[in-house]
Amino acid sequence: MLKDHSELLPRLDFTVTKREVSGQLVDLLRANETRYLDLTVALMLDIAAMETFPNLVSQVDADDMVARATVAVAELKRWTAKQREVVEEHEEHAATIAQSAKKAQDGRVFAQAHDGLKQRFMGMHAAADPHKRGTDFEGFINELFALYDMELRASYVIEYEQIDGAFAFDTDHYVLEAKWWKDRIGRRELDVFKTNIERKGKNTLGLYISMNGFTTDAVAVYSFSTPFITLDGVDFMAVLDQRIRLDELIRRKKRHASETGCCSLQIADILSEGD
């Protein structure tokens, strides 16, 4: 406790007995009560919390000394009980303030990350090179999912199929396919995706991302039974505008698919439920 008041240490004579050193310290604290009030209270509370006295048990009259120390500490505890309550209240208040400050800071960092990803997303819309946009889109998705603690497994190839990625969320395992094509994704692509998912474990689901959406007939086929959910560019804008969290969006779409069998749920319908 004296480490924050190093000016006191040189004024203590450690060549004498511990009792004498303690007396010197008490005299120093008493001589400047205002300056050392917090230190004095902290020392009193620390002593009042003592339950054993290892320095006394080796003394010749240990039983008597321990008994007297126990009584003295109990009396000090009684006198300092109110002060301990005040200190604990202050510590709880300080912890609450610190937690709120951290939460606010985390929120600012989170919002800044969102803003940066949104700028990248808008820049990709203006990209003239489809190949470069596809590469940038992959990195964008990785960073967005990582922001929500959904670490993507990189694209990989197994026999007869290529997978864009995979991730775990809410005890489920998802296979990910992501396309930024000029045209909408049709039934043929969704049929292939469905087959790929069915080759995986029974708890595996799919997430198909198509920035330009899906054809009406493709969605219609997977409106009554589906092993996957879909996201499009409108969904991404809602997430990047922070109108809905990505994890909540996936959770809502998965629940809708479980309840209705439909792979698609419009973001407008999700947001309107909260109005």
Q: Look at residue 259 in the predicted model and tell me its pLDDT.
A: 95
pLDDT value of position 270? 92
Question: Are 146 and 152 spatial neighbours (Cβ–Cβ below 8 Å)?
Answer: yes
pLDDT at residue 245 in the model: 93
The whole model's pTM is what?
A: 0.62
Q: At what angle do helices 62-125 and 233-240 cross, to 10 degrees?
A: 130
Residue 19, pLDDT score: 72
Q: What is the pLDDT of residue 25?
A: 75
Which pLDDT score is estimated for 162? 44
Query: How far, in Å, CA of 126 to CA of 136, rounded?
Result: 12
**What is the CA 185 to chain-centroid distance, rounded?**
35
The model's pLDDT over 62-112, given as tens digits with 9 standing for 90+, comes to 788 878 878 877 877 777 777 776 666 766 766 766 676 667 666 788 888
pLDDT at 100: 66
For residue 119, the model assigns a pLDDT of: 92
The secondary structure element, H or E, covering residue 204 is: strand 204-210
For position 227, what pLDDT does the model report? 95
Per-residue pLDDT at 161: 40
Low-confidence ranges of the chain (pLDDT < 70): 1-2, 85-88, 90-91, 93-94, 96-98, 100-102, 104-106, 154-164, 274-275
Q: Are 151 and 167 in contact (CB under 8 A)?
A: yes
List, in order, residues 6 or more apart from 164 with CB less than 8 Å away. 138, 155, 176, 177, 178
DSSP 18-51: HHHHHHHHHHHHHHTTTTTHHHHHHHHHHHHT--
Contact present, 261 and 226 (Cβ < 8 Å) = yes
Q: Which of 202, 258, 197, 192 is nearest to 225 (CA)?
A: 258
> In this predicted structure, what is the pLDDT of residue 53?
78
> Which residue matches tokens 């109110």?
82
